[in-house]
């Protein structure tokens, strides 16, 4: 905190300062001290209290801290309409101070389904919010089908949880079916070599990987959690309730076995990909917000 205070105090009066929500949520006191001197903008992906694995006391503390911090900013930049709705409903943030800038998506070539075994791709850090444990349970019920799964993503955020996941895979005797790929140098290759994208997140503020999967034309199996339903239409994916391995297994089973369903969802994903915003479009929204705040004489 002392380092943050020193850095903020060194910034000239009237400057526009963007603070990522990963930091802002716990900087309620620090932002209060400079709110009348700096033009603060919050970049909120999703509220910190919605992270999985928190106990009620931690959730309550983070909620109140972030709520207070958000009262200290000029404007709030969010990455989805879902986060906008949460902030206006639960954090009493005025809607006219919120700008939605959906992240851009690089255009990539469409993947081609390669037949058997079906490659199920998951791209996510090994954290509780991403719910790999639910996916492993679902896949254990589908051991009789012909599939291979790749979990792409680092374990550096929560090594204890990553170890729990590896033990779960071993317990289910799926070591030869589920591969922990870790961080990879080129994730585009992973999308190109996959047949289906699966990620049963417990919450998503936006879900960049879903946009990336759509841009590769991959059928998606996910959850109705956070912003996912806003991003993944029924024509491109099957969405189930979070924390429901049975429903997830049923959805995966359908995509693996139902005649024509995978091709139908693939077609839907390709159509959806054409409508995703580009990085230029997203950057223009951010630039316009920065310009507006810099020219505002409210300070």
Q: What is the mean pLDDT of residues 267-275?
A: 94
Q: What is the mean pLDDT of the chain?
A: 94
Is 2-104+279-295's fold the same as 118-273's?
A: yes
**Residue 240 belongs to what H/E stretch?**
strand 237-240
Report pLDDT for 296.
Answer: 81
- Give 1's pLDDT tier (boundaries 50, 70, 90): confident
* Per CATH, domain 118-273 is 3.40.190.170: no
Report pLDDT for 3.
Answer: 87
Quote the pTM value: 0.90
Q: What is the mean pLDDT of residues 72-97?
A: 96
* Nearest residue to 143 (alpha-carbon basis) of 117, 180, 108, 111: 117
Cα 263 to chain centroid distance, Å, stands at 25
Report pLDDT for 118.
Answer: 93
The architecture (CATH level 2) of 2-104+279-295 comes to: 3-Layer(aba) Sandwich (3.40)
pLDDT tens-place string over residues 96-127: 999 999 999 987 777 766 667 999 999 999 99
Report pLDDT for 171.
Answer: 98
Ordered by start, the domain boundaries in the chain are 2-104+279-295, 118-273
- Give 16's pLDDT tier (boundaries 50, 70, 90): very high
Per-residue pLDDT for 251 more than 90?
A: yes
Report pLDDT for 86.
Answer: 96
- Cα 41 from Cα 74, distance rounded (Å): 6
- Cα 20 from Cα 26, distance rounded (Å): 11
Report pLDDT for 298.
Answer: 65
Per-residue pLDDT for 272 more than 90?
A: yes
């Amino acid at each position: 905190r002392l380092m943050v205070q020193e850095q903020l105090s060194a910034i000239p009066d009237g400057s526009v300062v963007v603070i990522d929500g990963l930091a802002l949520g716990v900087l309620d006191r620090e932002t209060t001290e400079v709110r009348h001197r700096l033009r603060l903008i919050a970049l909120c992906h999703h509220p910190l209290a919605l992270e999985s694995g928190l106990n009620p006391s931690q959730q309550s503390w983070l909620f109140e801290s972030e709520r207070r911090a958000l009262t200290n900013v000029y404007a709030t930049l969010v990455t989805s309409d879902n986060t906008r709705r949460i902030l206006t409903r639960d954090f009493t943030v005025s809607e006219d101070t919120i700008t939605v800038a959906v992240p851009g998506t690089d255009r990539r070539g469409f993947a081609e389904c390669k037949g058997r075994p079906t490659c199920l791709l998951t791209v996510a850090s090994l954290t509780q919010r991403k719910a790999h444990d639910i996916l492993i349970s679902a896949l254990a019920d589908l051991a009789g089908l012909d599939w291979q799964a790749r979990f792409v993503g680092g374990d550096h955020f929560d090594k204890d949880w990553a170890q729990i996941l590896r033990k779960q895979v071993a317990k289910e005797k799926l070591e030869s079916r589920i591969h922990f790929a870790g961080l990879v140098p080129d994730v585009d290759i992973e999308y190109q070599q996959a047949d289906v994208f699966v990620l049963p997140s417990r919450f998503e503020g936006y879900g960049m990987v879903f946009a990336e999967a759509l841009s590769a034309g991959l059928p998606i199996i996910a959850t109705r959690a956070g912003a996912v339903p806003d991003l993944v239409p029924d024509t491109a994916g099957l969405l189930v309730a979070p924390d429901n391995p049975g429903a997830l297994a049923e959805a995966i089973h359908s995509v693996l076995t139902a005649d024509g369903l995978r091709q139908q969802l693939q077609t839907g994903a390709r159509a959806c990909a054409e409508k995703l915003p580009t990085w230029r479009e997203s950057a223009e929204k951010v630039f316009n917000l920065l310009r507006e705040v810099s020219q505002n004489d409210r300070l």
